[in-house]
């Protein structure tokens, strides 16, 4: 005799089998559906539209890599529990205005790499209206207007009042209208595929006051004459990632004007200078001056990356003269070409090191300063070593000074005291000669 429980299970199993069979017999859909009917994977199945007979219980639906051109009205009408939809790498040209009807619980929507144009024809005004709970929208890899302004359909986007994370193309001449102001919950604005030509005071104004994170990476065609008020009003910004956005280091540093009083978790200016600057009469080599870094030196920053920017020299107080050195935890200035431990520079650096009490990682690898000639003309033992005693920052974990080509003219015998947490110190491929460090603790 079956217990009721067993009977239920049996019924469930037979139901499961019948559904799978039905889908298979149609020979069309063949989505991979999990046994609990919660997740359907319909990726790479040459679908031209959203399948119509998917289980109502679905929480997630993956339609990556199909041939869907139009998201028709009511495509998801019966899939009201869906939380996550992925329609990447299709041929989407058009979204009908009722396409997302019923998706009041959707959290994540991804439409990456399609053929969508940023206008009202593609994104009808009320198309996003049903998506009241949408937190994450991923829509980069679509079509920007090339030689004219792209006026993003801001009214359509204005319905996404729960949105926290938007990933979108940054077109050549973008206009972000007032509708974006309604995205009160937007925390992270991430531009992928950047065609931006000019960064101006007004370009991102509509997002200011709201966003915590701005990721604007890989803008390779951007003009170096950015307006320095462009980040003004971004009072809540704590992550600024401009890696590989070629505005030049001096311009990048000037941008900090607008956020000079912010507490920053990350400022990433890795390779914002372009070795092809010569084309614009700009130089790759940068001599940091005090006025260039006036905002940087004022700021409290946890993670700072100014690697690979052609820095060849720096003035006093322009690089290690942080007012809030105590904020820094990770400091990268690898792949530049300047000398640190020389003359006043050493003193400044040692002072910085003493003040940077939260420092966890210091990375100045890959710095070619000068080749050492190993021809015995230089008499090492004749130079007098200077003893330096430095307290270790409490949490210092890694010092990376690998691949530094320096001359042998460094006469330091440093003693680092209290390095309890230091676990990595990498001096590999580095040619210092007269430099000794003892570690105590
Ligand atoms: C769907 O299946 C494809 C191929 O098997 C896989 O790469 C993808 O990660 C799956 N999607 C999800 C959401 O698990
Ligand atoms: C989709 O719905 C909208 C709004 O009801 C309507 O204007 C439009 O004609 C519909 N599209 C199609 C192809 O039926
Ligand atoms: C995208 O649209 C353009 C014309 O606007 C067309 O040439 C291209 O083939 C389309 N791409 C896809 C993947 O449909
Ligand atoms: C945009 O302008 C460039 C240079 O003038 C031209 O080569 C290109 O064909 C234009 N693109 C479009 C879509 O008009
Ligand atoms: C941009 O903003 C800065 C700082 O507020 C201001 O000095 C400058 O005049 C502005 N530029 C333009 C073109 O409005
Ligand atoms: C040091 O910086 C280099 C270049 O910027 C990077 O490749 C490397 O991963 C960094 N090392 C550590 C330990 O983070
Ligand atoms: C130091 O940085 C170099 C690259 O700059 C990297 O290859 C190496 O792994 C790093 N060392 C450690 C110990 O992380
Ligand atoms: C190096 O300097 C020491 C001490 O000043 C001296 O005795 C020695 O002869 C010098 N060696 C050479 C090769 O000049
Ligand atoms: C460096 O200084 C320490 C401590 O004063 C001393 O013990 C050590 O011998 C010195 N090393 C060199 C190479 O002079």
Tens digit of each residue's pLDDT, the chain (441 residues): 444 454 444 444 444 443 443 344 444 557 999 999 999 999 999 999 999 989 999 999 999 999 999 999 999 999 999 999 999 999 999 999 999 999 999 999 999 999 999 999 999 999 999 999 999 999 999 999 988 999 999 999 999 999 999 999 999 999 999 999 999 999 999 999 999 999 999 999 999 999 999 999 999 999 888 999 999 999 999 999 999 999 999 999 999 999 999 999 999 999 999 877 665 667 888 999 999 999 999 999 999 999 999 999 999 999 999 999 999 999 999 999 988 877 778 889 889 999 999 999 989 888 887 766 555 445 555 456 677 788 888 889 888 888 887 765 566 777 888 787 887 877 777 776 656 666 665
Q: What Rg do the C-alpha atoms of the chain give, in angstroms?
A: 28
What does residue 144 show for φ and ψ, rounded to 5 degrees? -95, 155
Question: What is the distance in A from the centroid of ligand 5 to the CA of 225?
Answer: 12
> What is the DSSP code (8-state) at residue 117?
B
Q: Which residue has the tokens 């060849």?
A: 312
Domains of the chain in start order, with CATH, are 25-195 (3.80.10.10), 340-348+363-441 (no CATH)
Residue 27: predicted pLDDT: 44
The CB density around residue 381, as the number of other CB atoms within 10 Å, is 6
Mapped to the 3 state alphabet, what secondary structure does 275-309 carry? CCHHHHCCCCCEEECCCCCHHHHHCEEEEEECCCC
pTM of the model: 0.87
Top mutation candidate among 200, 205, 227, 259 for ligand 5, by most atoms within 8 Å of CB: 227
Top mutation candidate among 31, 41, 66 for ligand 1, by most atoms within 8 Å of CB: 41
Ligand 3 within 6 A of 94 CB?
no
Tokens of 63: 């339609």
Ligand 4 within 6 A of 148 CB?
no
Query: Can you tell me the distance from the alpha carbon of 189 to that of 168, in angstroms, rounded to the nearest whole number?
Result: 8
Which residues lie below 8 Å from residue 281, measured CB to CB, with a gap of 6+? Answer: none
Give the position, in ligand 1's atom list, of the atom nearest the Cα of 60.
13
Which residues lie below 8 Å from residue 121, measured CB to CB, with a gap of 6+? Answer: 94
Tokens of 414: 């440093």
Which residues lie below 8 Å from residue 370, measured CB to CB, with a gap of 6+? Answer: 405, 406, 407
Tokens of 172: 């050549």
Ligand 8 within 6 A of 379 CB?
yes
Taking alpha carbons only, the member of 26, 22, 63, 23 closest to residue 44 is 63
Taking alpha carbons only, the member of 295, 356, 297 closest to residue 331 is 356
Cα-Cα-Cα-Cα dihedral of 27, 29, 32, 33, to 10°? -110
Taking alpha carbons only, the member of 246, 259, 249 closest to residue 204 is 259
Residue 374: predicted pLDDT: 55
Question: What is the distance in A from the centroid of ligand 2 to the CA of 401?
Answer: 63
């Amino acid at each position: 005799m079956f217990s009721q429980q067993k009977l239920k299970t049996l019924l469930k199993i037979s139901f499961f089998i019948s559904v799978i069979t039905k889908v298979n017999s149609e020979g069309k859909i063949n989505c991979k559906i999990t046994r609990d009917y919660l997740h359907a994977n319909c990726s790479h199945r040459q679908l031209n539209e959203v399948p119509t007979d998917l289980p109502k219980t679905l929480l997630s639906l993956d339609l990556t890599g199909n041939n869907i051109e139009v998201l028709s009205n009511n495509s998801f009408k019966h899939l009201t529990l869906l939380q996550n939809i992925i329609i990447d790498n299709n041929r989407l040209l058009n979204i009908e205005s009722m396409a997302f009807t019923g998706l009041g619980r959707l959290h994540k929507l991804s439409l990456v790499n399609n053929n969508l144009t940023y206008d009202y024809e593609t994104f009808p005004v009320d198309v996003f209206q049903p998506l009241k709970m949408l937190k994450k929208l991923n829509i980069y890899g679509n079509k920007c207007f090339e030689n004219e302004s792209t006026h993003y359909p801001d009214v359509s986007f204005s319905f996404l009042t729960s949105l926290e994370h938007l990933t979108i193309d940054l077109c050549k001449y973008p206009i972000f209208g007032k509708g974006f102001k309604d995205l009160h919950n937007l925390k992270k604005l991430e531009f992928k595929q950047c065609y931006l030509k000019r960064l101006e005071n007004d370009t991102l104004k509509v997002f200011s006051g709201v966003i915590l994170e701005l990721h604007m990476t890989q803008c390779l065609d951007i003009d170096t004459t950015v307006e320095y008020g462009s980040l003004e009003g971004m009072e809540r910004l704590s992550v600024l990632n401009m890696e590989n956005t070629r505005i030049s280091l001096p311009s990048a540093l000037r941008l900090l004007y607008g956020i000079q009083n912010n507490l920053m978790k990350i400022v990433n200016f890795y390779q914002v200078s372009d070795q092809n600057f010569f084309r614009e009469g700009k130089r790759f080599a940068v001599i940091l001056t005090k006025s260039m870094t006036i905002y940087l030196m004022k700021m409290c920053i946890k993670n700072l990356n100014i690697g690979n920017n052609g820095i060849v020299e720096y003035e006093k107080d322009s690089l290690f003269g942080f007012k809030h050195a105590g904020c820094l935890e990770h400091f990268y200035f690898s792949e530049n070409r300047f000398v640190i431990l020389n003359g006043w520079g050493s003193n400044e650096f040692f002072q910085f090191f003493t003040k940077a009490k939260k420092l966890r990682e210091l990375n100045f690898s890959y710095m070619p300063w000068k080749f050492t000639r190993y021809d015995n003309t230089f008499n090492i033992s004749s130079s007098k070593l200077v003893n330096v005693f430095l307290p270790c920052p409490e949490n210092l974990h890694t010092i990376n000074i690998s691949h530094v080509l320096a001359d042998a003219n460094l006469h330091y015998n440093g003693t680092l005291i209290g390095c309890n947490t230091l676990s990595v110190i990498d001096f590999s491929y580095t040619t210092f000669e007269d430099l000794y460090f003892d570690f105590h603790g």
